Structure 1
Amino acid sequence: MNPSHLIETFGEGAVLAWGGLVIGALFGFFAQRSKFCLRAATLEFWHRKFGEKIAVWLLTFSAAVVGVQLLIVTHHMDTTAARQISATGSLSGALVGGVLFGIGMILTRGCASRLLVLSANGNLRALLSGLIFAVTAQAALAGSLAPWRETISSWWVVEGGPSRDLLSLTGAGPWGGLIFGLVWFIAALFFAVRSGGGFWKWVGGIGTGLMVAAGWGFSYLVASHSFEVVPVQSLTFSGPSAEWLMRVLASPAPAMGFGFGLIPGVFLGSFVGAWVGHDFKLEGFNDGYSMRRYIFGAIFMGFGSMLAGGCAVGAGITGGSIFATTAWLSLAGMWLGAGLTDRMIDRPAPAGASATAPPTVRTAP
């Protein structure tokens, strides 16, 4: 059906919301089945295992890059209007926010998107952490934490345009980005073959990444057929989580858009994935120590995501797939913060050493 006809009939907000719902549901299903998780990938990297979790993350990341760059070179998308490229950015915010997000990701045993996926699978730890993440993100956006965010962001500012576009800065262009993505896709295939795993590791990982490309392509299609200003965007979970919080707590509610459908879509898709894979299971906290850990982790992630301009998916993959300079710096910070936190908090205690804090047991998120 003609996009212009849909927009004229239902309006830009409703069309974007339905697109977010469908793309989000597919993302949630693929992410649940593949167990896509940046936190798990960083742990394998820092522990020098290079196994299945890294393979899934690389399949997702490279599929997103290849998909987005194919849209660009075939003239089905233009990223110059994307917020991550066109708006003024903060390199200090990207780095500090990325590190804080990485710290929180280890403490909560999952990034923002993973918490949403696990919540739909019956994980009450993830549900509480996700709610605290949303509250903190809103506080950092327009609440009590906003002055802190603005101060850190002002330390090192970068103008929008070519200075925020790595492909423009390096002169590589879209074809260079496509080749880069294909190289990493081959590397992902190598790790996937070496680590073994089943059907869903391959299909789920690639499908998760392609949903990021689908989000970019869909929002650009709507924007190109609309007479109103429509943001060109894709998957992210910090901003939409904060928006949904304000829909519940405040009136008037934020305008309907892509994020309106994304959050319930991911939840629904993940729930279907858990039902298909018989993974639904109610889980709670084991003790007060683990609860405190998750709460502090969610706070770090919420503030870090708003400071970095997005979460592990929003900045790391969505922003990374269009080669936004700040997104790549945020992603590097996430890997660094996760590695340092894992080493300081979760590494095994030396033999014979006494610990004042309750022991930390590594469990699946």
Structure 2
Amino acid sequence: MDLVPLVEHIGEAPAAALFGLLTGAVFGVAAQRSRFCLRAATVEFASGRLGDKVAVWLLTFSTAVVWVQAAQMLDLMDSADARMMAVPGSWSGAILGGLMFGGGMVLARGCSGRLLVLAATGNLRSVVSGLIFAVIAQMSLSGLLSPARDWLAGLWITEGGRNLDLLAALGLPKAGGLVLGLATAALALVLAQRNRIGAARLVFASGVGFAVALGWALTYALSQVSFDPVQIESATFTGPSAHTLMFFLDRNAVLEFDIGLVPGVFIGAMLAAALAGEMKLQAFDSPSTMRKAMIGAALMGFGGMLAGGCAIGAGVTGGSIFTGTAWAALFCMWAGAVATSMLTRDHAESLRV
């Protein structure tokens, strides 16, 4: 795609924000209609079932892997230049942060991406939890909590000044990632058939994965025509939530992909919910629910920043390019969420959103 005319007309930073807005809108529509949620999938798994929520998550994850790996084979992107692959990763951060994030999303009844989607539909619980998440994430990035995050992340980092490419480390061929994605997609479709998931929901679940690939491809294409360095990235919500919050508080903040992503998700989800007649104001059920949600949001804010990404950023976006610490974080998010769900023994309530 020729982005030169667009970049020359509006500039590199606005173009990046526009691509973030587009990626976010696709993500928001697809996530709202498919009810995609890692928290719901892990809680369902903890209850001993491989139901519709696990199937939707697996289909989203596998779709992202298939699209991204296919894009790499077609030279539409290069994961070696991606920000999360080109810098050292933290194994300790992935493990500790992943466990915290997993537990937090069960308490908050939604991961950070799901909270944003629900907030767009009128869920006031998610608005409160999302704001706490964004504030704690910002404090962990450059505020009072940043020294603790830096110390924990520095306990165990990847070698060689870069993150670990799992495909290369395992000696798999270039098509190995694509094959793994297709196999996972087949498993997801088998589970979908067993749970009688409708075609429309499957299409939208695939759309969430496509949004991740879209973000990768757009930022890579922009980096090829920009004079200044451009971060090659895609959907994630820990850093972008903090950056978007500061964008509206700091007059000197600049446009970037992150600044378009969060509003894009909100707009997309709100339009999808409005067209489906699913806009509805919802509040906390009880003071105890509110306390758990606030604690969970804080755990996600710090844990996500420590892990190098949220359930989407590490779990799907980082996983789709086989970043070593992203896969470690994803595994620990599942472990933390399953353990928290079993300890709270509140599966029925936790499955509600």
CA distance in 2, matches of 1:84, 1:160: 14
8 Å CA contact 1:166–1:323 kept in 2: the answer is: yes
The residue aligned with 2:150 is 150
The residue aligned with 2:102 is 102
CA distance in 2, matches of 1:44, 1:98: 19
Report the TM-score, using the length of structure 1 for normalisation: 0.94
CA distance in 2, matches of 1:107, 1:245: 23
Q: Give the CA deviation at 1:119.
A: 0.1
The residue aligned with 1:353 is none
Is 1:54 paired with 2:54?
yes
Q: What amino acid does structure 2 have at the position aligned with 1:252?
A: N
Give matches, 1:291-302, under 5 Å. 291-302=290-301
Give matches, 1:67-106, under 5 Å. 67-106=67-106
Q: Give the CA deviation at 1:162.
A: 6.8
The residue aligned with 1:19 is 19
Q: Give the CA deviation at 1:140.
A: 0.3
Q: Deviations over 1:160-197 (max 9, x none)?
A: 56751001101114300110101001111111111112
8 Å CA contact 1:85–1:160 kept in 2: the answer is: no
Q: Which moved more, 1:41-50 or 1:123-132?
A: 41-50
Report the TM-score, using the length of structure 2 for normalisation: 0.97
Q: Which moved more, 1:264-273 or 1:152-161?
A: 152-161
CA distance in 1, matches of 2:207, 2:192: 15
CA distance in 1, matches of 2:313, 2:64: 12
CA distance in 2, matches of 1:225, 1:216: 15
Q: Give the CA deviation at 1:362.
A: 4.2
Shift in alpha-carbon separation, 1:67–1:333, aligned structure 2, 3 A = same
Shift in alpha-carbon separation, 1:287–1:83, aligned structure 2, 3 A = same
The residue aligned with 1:257 is 256
Is 1:364 paired with 2:352?
yes
The residue aligned with 2:317 is 318
Q: What amino acid does structure 2 have at the position aligned with 1:78?
A: D
Q: Give the CA deviation at 1:86.
A: 1.0
Q: What amino acid does structure 1 have at the position aligned with 2:352?
A: A
8 Å CA contact 1:18–1:261 kept in 2: the answer is: yes
CA distance in 2, matches of 1:252, 1:163: 32
CA distance in 1, matches of 2:313, 2:66: 17
The residue aligned with 2:307 is 308
Give matches, 1:93-242, under 5 Å. 93-159=93-159, 164-242=164-242
The residue aligned with 2:328 is 329
CA distance in 2, matches of 1:59, 1:362: 22
Structure 1 unaligned regions, length at least 5: 349-359
The residue aligned with 2:277 is 278
- Percent of pairs identical after alignment? 48
Q: What amino acid does structure 2 have at the position aligned with 1:234?
A: S
Q: What amino acid does structure 2 have at the position aligned with 1:259?
A: D
8 Å CA contact 1:163–1:169 kept in 2: the answer is: no
CA distance in 1, matches of 2:252, 2:3: 28
Considering only CA atoms, is the larger Rg found in Structure 1 or Structure 2?
1
- Alignment partner of 2:290: what SS? helix
Q: Give the CA deviation at 1:272.
A: 1.1
RMSD: 1.4
Q: Give the CA deviation at 1:159.
A: 3.1
Q: Give the CA deviation at 1:25.
A: 0.7
Q: What amino acid does structure 2 have at the position aligned with 1:92?
A: S
CA distance in 1, matches of 2:262, 2:30: 15
CA distance in 1, matches of 2:110, 2:148: 25
Matched length: 353
8 Å CA contact 1:162–1:169 kept in 2: the answer is: no
8 Å CA contact 2:88–2:159 kept in 1: the answer is: yes
Structure 2 unaligned regions, length at least 5: none
